[in-house]
Amino acid sequence: MTDSPGEFRSGFVSLVGRPNVGKSTLLNRIIGRKVSIVSDRPQTTRTQVRGVRTTASSQLVFLDTPGIHKPRSLLGERANERALTTLSEVDAVCFVVEANAPIGTGDRFVAERLAAVDTPVVCALNKIDAASRSQVLEHLAVAAADLGDFAAYVPVSARRGEGIDALVGELEARLPSGPHYYPEGVVTDQPETFLAAELVREQLLAVAREELPHSIAVTTDEVEERESAAGPLLALRIVVRVERESQKGIVIGRGGAVLKAAGTAARRELEALLGTRVHLDLHVKVDPDWQRRPGALDRLGL
């Protein structure tokens, strides 16, 4: 039995690919606002971030998974496992590769995993704004020949928004008829505590991009809603964890400048997202080799 044209389609879509191909930027573009932090450092996304796009005809619930890579730590192993387990649990997969870089072993590694599941795969060739037309055409041909016989291949630019409607259309066409999983207006199911911690981590990655790409973990340990003369205030206690004492100084900066700048930028963005005044109380803690200790990862939800 086929779906009639008027039926509402809904389902879950996993965004997968090797690190740093632009999955988080693509998710934010599709949703129309930030639901996942963005960095030019690989393996920025550590958890599954749900983003919801609802239109009159469909609701797509996206999982922005960690970049699949050769792991160097227990954290990396868990990130890979988290990304791979989604492949058979969703209705469609969006496999992201780059238009401005050769198809490599990392792309093929992901493609091999996709070949092992029955879920329909749409290949998004991202960053076409950084490639010539001939490069894009060549990449499409190589992707079709080397990576797999996917349901569709769509050139896109997550940064500029080119090809996004076509990509969403291909994904939507592969969803079953179904209900609204989330109410109208909901764009993510991540709580403000998660968003606050991730926005602080994003700012710190931008400042300490060479020194601390993977050694920073940020959590919200306390949250309190207060009333003040200026109106409601959301107060959050944020803890930044690093692995060594020397890294603590990098995060704090001279006279606390780095931590203050990161907190101010994160607070402003969080206030814009939530539509309320926010106070962030930031603390830095040394948690030796946290990304290699199972107990530490469990406590951090990783």
- Quick one: 90 and 139 in the same domain? yes
- Quick one: 28 and 114 in the same domain? yes
Range of the domain at 95: 9-172
115: its two tokens: 């070949």
Q: What is the domain-level CATH number for residue 78?
A: 3.40.50.300
What is each CA distance from 129 to 3, 22, 107, 162, in whole angstroms?
36, 13, 20, 8
Which residue, among 72, 37, 302, has the nearest Cα to 188 in the 3D structure?
Answer: 37
In a domain, 1, yes or no: no
- Quick one: 67 and 152 in the same domain? yes
Residue 15 and residue 64 in contact, taking contact as beta carbons nearer than 8 Å:
yes
- Quick one: 163 and 281 in the same domain? no
- Quick one: 33 and 152 in the same domain? yes
pTM of this prediction exceeds 0.85: no
- Quick one: 233 and 150 in the same domain? no
In a domain, 142, yes or no: yes
In a domain, 2, yes or no: no
The pLDDT value given to residue 208: 64
- Quick one: 250 and 285 in the same domain? yes
- Quick one: 168 and 54 in the same domain? yes
- Quick one: 159 and 246 in the same domain? no
Residue 53 and residue 31 in contact, taking contact as beta carbons nearer than 8 Å:
yes
Q: How far apart are the first and last CA of the chain?
A: 42
- Quick one: 48 and 150 in the same domain? yes
Report the number of distinct structural domains present in the chain.
2
DSSP state letters, 202-247 = HHHHHHSTTT-TTT-EEEEEEEEEEEETTEEEEEEEEEEEESSHHH
Residues near 211 by beta carbon (within 8 Å), at least 6 away in sequence = 247, 250
- Quick one: 146 and 216 in the same domain? no
For each of the chain's 302 residues, which pLDDT tens digit applies? 444 556 899 999 988 888 788 888 899 899 988 777 665 544 444 456 678 899 999 999 998 766 555 556 665 566 666 656 777 788 999 999 999 888 888 888 889 888 888 899 999 999 999 988 888 888 888 888 888 889 999 999 999 999 999 999 999 999 999 999 888 888 887 777 778 888 888 888 777 655 555 677 888 888 788 777 777 788 888 888 888 888 888 888 888 888 898 889 888 888 877 778 888 899 998 888 777 766 666 665 65
d(CA 54, CA 58): 6
- Quick one: 19 and 138 in the same domain? yes
